[in-house]
Amino acid sequence: MKKARIIYNPTSGREAFKKELANVLERFEVAGYETSTHATTCEGDAIKAAKIAVERRYDVVVAAGGDGTINEVVNGLGEQDYRPKLGIIPVGTTNDFARALSIPRNIIKAVDIILNDQSIPLDIGKVNEHYFINIAGGGKLTELTYDVPSKLKTMLGQLAYYIKGIEMLPSLKPTNVRIEYDGEVLEDDIMLFLISNTNSVGGFEKLAPTAKLDDGYFDVIILKKTNLAEFIRVATLALRGAHLDHKNVIYTKARHIKVETDEKMQLNIDGEFGGLLPGEFINLKQHVELFVPDEFVKKNDC
């Protein structure tokens, strides 16, 4: 019998997962799984829980929560030689990663995608000692995710980030950086850099339109120094994926990136604080096997 471990954040989103747990377990059982659960209790707990699932040789690990929980589970799997297949039940506030993969927010539908047993190999990013599944970046605006109060997130969801972002706009300052990507070097003043594995970031669904999940490459977006008006212009263009031709935007693909700066710059990893620069980013090609919906496979079948 196949074994699944469901790691869930009971506080995530509007605490919806707890209410559905009995239904979820029944569905797994009917599908022939022996299932156990772990409710996370604090920051970092999902990392430990995923490592235990590896030691116990589970076939499948399910991360039920927001992007933070998914990131922690991936950090628990990343370093291991044996890595169970990964399932995702998105019950967080933003769920950027699930959106990029067309995994629905309906809990039962998300469960059925796992039980349908269709999976793809997925690239994973590593920066310094952290793993990421969706995006890493730096620059003042990427720091806003830590400043959004969780109560506001629960009330307003994604909108809370936009409100906070607009509030921060006047204080945006460029940072002088040295970025080395697959042998090329950029030394310049930049507003932000993003190293992405998917096309959906921070609610911008066309930010990295050519990003592929399994090609072993990151999509790199660098916004060079702009004034406030230009910055707003680029952000508006980015909403519809029309920012790539802007003169201040660099958009490229790379497997290995180093970012250094003389100033203090925080790293944002899958929406959470990930330490300070310098950072060395490595793409681990097809490192984790991930359950995905038919819809995602069809969309990317060409």
Ligand X SMILES: Nc1ncnc2c1ncn2[C@@H]1O[C@H](COP(=O)(O)OP(=O)(O)OP(=O)(O)O)[C@@H](O)[C@H]1O
CB nearer ligand X, residue 226 or residue 268: 268
CB-nearer residue toward ligand X: 67 or 251: 67
Q: Check if the beta carbon of residue 221 is closer than 8 Å to that of residue 250.
A: yes
Distance of CA 238 to CAs 108, 204, 206, 241, 267, Å? 33, 7, 7, 5, 21
Site for ligand X in 264-293 (CB under 6 A): 271-272
User: Could you give the C-alpha distances from 258 to 22, 173, 195, 248, 251, in angstroms and in order?
Assistant: 46, 21, 11, 20, 16
d(CA 208, CA 194): 9
Out of 24, 62, 68, 142, which residue is the one contacting ligand X (CB under 6 A)? 68
According to the binding rule CB under 6 A, does residue 41 interact with ligand X? Answer: yes
- The catalytic residue among 180, 260, 272, 289 is 272
Query: Under the criterion CB under 6 A, does residue 134 sit at the interface with ligand X?
Result: no
Q: Could you say whether residue 10 binds ligand X (CB under 6 A)?
A: yes
Distance CA 134, CA 149 (A): 22
The sign of the CA dihedral 290, 291, 295, 301 is positive
Q: Please report whether residue 294 would count as binding ligand X according to CB under 6 A.
A: no
Considering beta carbons, is residue 15 or 182 the nearer one to ligand X?
Answer: 15
Q: How far is the CB of 15 from ligand X (least distance, A)?
A: 9
**Binding status of residue 123 toward ligand X by CB under 6 A:** no
Measured from the CB atom, the residue of 40 and 175 that comes closer to ligand X is: 40
Considering only residues 173-232, where is the footprint of ligand X by CB under 6 A? none
Near ligand X by CB under 6 A: residue from 6, 24, 67, 141: 67
Q: Figure out which of the listed residues 5, 9, 113, 177 binds ligand X, where binding follows CB under 6 A.
A: 9
- In angstroms, the CA 143 to CA 191 distance is 12
Distances in whole angstroms, Cα of residue 8 to Cα of each of 38, 50, 62, 68, 93: 6, 11, 8, 11, 14
Verify whether residue 15 is a known catalytic residue. Answer: no
DSSP letter for 198, please: S
Q: How many residues bind ligand X (CB under 6 A)?
A: 23
Given the complex with ligand X, which of 35 and 95 has the nearer CB atom?
95
What is the spatial distance between Cα 176 and Cα 189, in angstroms, rounded to a whole number? Answer: 4
Helical ranges in 148-269 per DSSP H? 150-156, 159-168, 228-239
* Catalytic residue list: 272
Binding site for ligand X (CB under 6 A): 9-13, 40-43, 45, 65-69, 72, 92-95, 153, 271-272
